[in-house]
Amino acid sequence: MAKPSRALHKTSSGSENRKLALISSKGSLDMAYPPLILANAARMSGIDVEMFFTFWGLDIITKNKMSKLKVATVGNPNMHPSFHIPTILGAIPGMSAMASTMMRKEIAALDFPPVPEFIQLVMDAGANVYGCKMSMDMMKLTQDDLVDGATVLGAMEFMDITEGAQVLFV
């Protein structure tokens, strides 16, 4: 079996480091954790991390939304196996809140931090966090709406920063 390729880039000191670019476009609670877990694992492995939040993924790094993320119960094919909720019941008022509460308990039981704390943890570990300029303009968000330490960046600038990186769209 062939060994997977590793995305490398030159650091400011001239050495080569692996580099991971994570793109997050969904802002539900169940979609917030995959990029954060991957970013944390990468940083713990010494891999440079660039995180780009676009469209509804911006909710994950928007101060007034990041603590209130919910699990989508309507149109989520995984609701039944994960929480034993038939898809049709997802439309009942309060089901999203109940599923979100259940997921938060499961996340806490696994000793993962809440989203705002996890964002801060990966940033403190050296991950760079970017809000998509076009999506922010469309949603009438400003730099002040984002978590402290995040930067507003256009898609083309993100492409330049992540040249040669392993890219994961989450």
Residue 71 sits in a domain whose CATH number is 3.40.1260.10
Phi, psi of 31 (to 5 degrees): -100, -5
Residue 80 domain-assigned?
yes
Cα–Cα distances in Å, from 138 out to 27, 58, 142?
A: 16, 11, 11
| pLDDT band for position 106 (cuts 50, 70, 90) | confident
Residue 5 domain-assigned?
no
Note the pLDDT of residue 13: 44
Note the pLDDT of residue 154: 97
Number of domains into which the chain is organized? 1
Residue 7 domain-assigned?
no
Residue 6 domain-assigned?
no
Residue 3 domain-assigned?
no
Give the Cα-Cα-Cα angle 20, 70, 75 (nearest 5 degrees): 90
33 or 111: whose pLDDT is higher?
33
Task: Provide DSSP, 20-33.
Answer: EEEEE---SHHHHH
Residue 71 domain-assigned?
yes
9 or 143: whose pLDDT is higher?
143
pLDDT at position 74 over 70: no
Residue 102 domain-assigned?
yes
Task: Give the domain extent around 78.
Answer: 18-169
Residue 2 domain-assigned?
no
